[in-house]
Structure 1
Amino acid sequence: MAAPPDPPYRRIADEIARRIADGTLAPGDRVPSTRRIAREWGVALATATKALTTLRLEGLVVARPRVGTVVAARDRAASTEHRAPTTRRTPSTALPDRDLSRERIVRAAVDLADAEGLAAVSMRSVAARLGVAAMSPYRHVTGKDDLVLLMADAAFGEETYPASPPEGWRARLELGARTLWTIYRRHPWLAQVGSLTRPLMLPSLMAHAEWALAALDGHGLDPETMLDLHVLFYSYIHGIAVHLEREAQAEAATGLSEDQWMDQQALAFRAITASTRYPVFTRLTSSFADGYELDLDALFAFGLTPLLDGIALLIADPPSGRAPS
């Protein structure tokens, strides 16, 4: 009797493994993303995710945050011989259902979002990453919306504050800002969760809010001013961080890096600077030999100083009560 055909995810994994074996994909090269696999092979995202998970479990690829899934170093790949279809067995590292827990599901979902973006996260894709049945995670998490909130709470909880705060409100606020930036830098998808007008009621996020509010407390500011300052403080960090994931999404959608995209705008840019309608912009941009470089980390650090300077003015001369709106 003929052996049953391999499932789609296995055929996809084998094809990518062959590309690695024949050198088409070298160590460090990005392998096709889940979206590209889904398009190229005409399969669901969950199937694409399972194919990449299989390759990861077999030691052929590794996930790198904000880079994606890349071919593993040869010494790592060589340590796990790729199994031909006729000799394949279930990877021993697949997680038995009985060992599944909410914490493991959340961790797998965070890892997936770090590597592929928040859009790649679904209950099925997380199940595929863990190597369990598609419905198994539902025994611990009610659905994707619940999962995303758990992911966010876990991410915000990765960094804590010292029991003894630094001296002065400014040093305390700066530490809070840099701590949040570190979290957003580690998990760029996090800035896509929630909005300023509909804040997330998460214990871990509230710990950051409490730290900032405590820094503002005791300086003669009325409650509304304190809350407004906190919202502005948080929205400054969040407003820059949101572009970390958007750039990754744009690169995935267009296949162009930021520099490559800017190169394609050269003709439109020259048309703008050649006109006489924008003299200040033209003068400023022409002062850069190699063009103005927008670095989000540098922009965050630069903007933090005038933000804190503005807060310092209010603390030095607190507003005298605000009329209710």
Structure 2
Amino acid sequence: MTVAPYQAIAAELRHRIESGALRPGDRVPSTRALMREYGVAMATATKALQALQQERLVHASPGVGTVVGPPPRARTVRPTPRPTPPPSGLTLQQGEVLRMGIAIADAEGLAAVSMRRIAAELGVSTMALYRHIGGKDALVLQMIDAAFGEYPLPELTGDWRAQVTAVARTQWAAYRQHLWLAGALSVGRPQLLPKLLPYTDALLAAFKPLEKSAALYAAISVVGYVRGLAQSMEGEAQAEQDTGMTGDDWAERQGEQLAALVAAGGLTAFAELLADNFDFDYDLDQLFAFGLELLLDGLAARLRP
């Protein structure tokens, strides 16, 4: 029986996963890398990865590529059904409500969160939930606080740069886990939340040598940079769900059109970049680290005695 090329590639990758050569969270070769390794067309490489995605052996991770493991957004959010409480009140702990709201937002996005939805998932009346929480706006604020509470700041040591880096990386980890969180957070009108304020406080402490206004602008710049980059993750995850294409797949399909536009527009810098089959693997974590270093280099000039 003849095995199709995409099936052979999928079988080889499946063996790497099952043998432990590729572990959960490891990045799987991109379509471009598979094309080079096996000498196949992009459609064949894409089909091989799609076969593994259908088996839930791999999933697309925004800004990273295809990684080993089932898709995190595919998990169910329904708990064990519980009986409707008596009309006298809500027999839930606040933490249960917040955990359910966060689970729905993680799986389907913040737009899917509503008081009615949470009440249905938990088996309680919607009005009882309103009396307990105070409405969706209050719920979202508490969800933001609870999400950041999962990522308390580590002990901050070293110089100002090490401290700022630790704060930024902790914030980035929270956004990585909860893709809706960056979009829910405001920079211009920051939410005053107990578990969120320590982030800004730590940044202000690191920037003490600066004049007060400059220190606050510096802290806002760091928070805004991390949040701004993180906001692209949810859109990328949604695009992958809607199209079935990873970022690498999409980039491959734009190659010919980009080359034509570059040639027609006389874009010499782009032409030099694309020359010699330049291979660029877009990695959002690497972009975050690179941009953070640039930002800190600029702040270092302001903090230099």
Indicate which of 190, 200, 209 corresponds to 2:191: 200
Give the match for residue 295 of structure 1. 283
Indicate which of 178, 187, 202 corresponds to 1:187: 178
Hey, which bits of structure 1, 4+ residues long, moved more than 6 A? none
Change (3 A) 1:257 1:94: farther
User: Where does the alignment leave 5 or more consecutive residues of structure 2 unmatched?
Assistant: 1-52, 59-69
Q: Using the TM superposition, give the Cα deviation of residue 260 of structure 1 relative to its aligned residue in structure 2, in angstroms.
A: 3.3
CA offset digits 1:252-302 (Å, max 9, x no partner): 34443323333443342122233252110121133554x422211111112
State the structure with bigger RCO (CA 8 A, min sep 6), 1 or 2: 2
1:67 aligns to 2:73 (yes or no) = yes
* Superposition map of 1:49-64 within 5 A: none
One-letter code aligned to 2:150: E
Change (3 A) 1:267 1:125: farther
Give the match for residue 38 of structure 1. none
Query: Number of matched residues?
Result: 236
Change (3 A) 1:102 1:196: same
* Superposition map of 1:83-122 within 5 A: 93-94=81-82, 97=85, 98-122=90-114
- Aligned residues of 1:176 and 1:211 also touching (Cα < 8 A): yes
Please tell me the root mean square deviation across aligned C-alpha atoms, in Å: 2.6
Change (3 A) 1:174 1:146: same
Change (3 A) 1:137 1:287: farther
1:282 aligns to 2:271 (yes or no) = yes
CA offset digits 1:57-94 (Å, max 9, x no partner): xxxxxxx7743237xxxxxxxxxxxxxxxxxxxx9653
One-letter code aligned to 1:182: A
Change (3 A) 1:132 1:160: same
Q: Using the TM superposition, give the Cα deviation of residue 105 of structure 1 relative to its aligned residue in structure 2, in angstroms.
A: 0.6
User: Where does the alignment leave 5 or more consecutive residues of structure 1 unmatched?
Assistant: 1-24, 31-63, 71-90, 318-325
* Superposition map of 1:208-287 within 5 A: 208-217=199-208, 219=209, 221-287=210-276
Change (3 A) 1:26 1:242: closer
- Aligned residues of 1:66 and 1:248 also touching (Cα < 8 A): no
CA distance in 2, matches of 1:29, 1:65: 9
Give the match for residue 134 of structure 2. 142
Change (3 A) 1:288 1:133: farther
Give the match for residue 302 of structure 2. 314
CA distance in 2, matches of 1:130, 1:156: 23
Give the match for residue 156 of structure 1. 148
CA offset digits 1:86-108 (Å, max 9, x no partner): xxxxx965365353122111111
CA offset digits 1:186-239 (Å, max 9, x no partner): 11110111332222222211110001111111x2x1111101111111111111
One-letter code aligned to 2:153: Y
Q: Using the TM superposition, give the Cα deviation of residue 151 of structure 1 relative to its aligned residue in structure 2, in angstroms.
A: 0.5
Shifted more, 296-305 versus 135-144: the winner is 135-144
SS in 2 for 1:137: helix
CA distance in 2, matches of 1:95, 1:286: 65
Percent identical pairs in the alignment equals 40
CA distance in 2, matches of 1:65, 1:136: 34
- Aligned residues of 2:144 and 2:185 also touching (Cα < 8 A): no
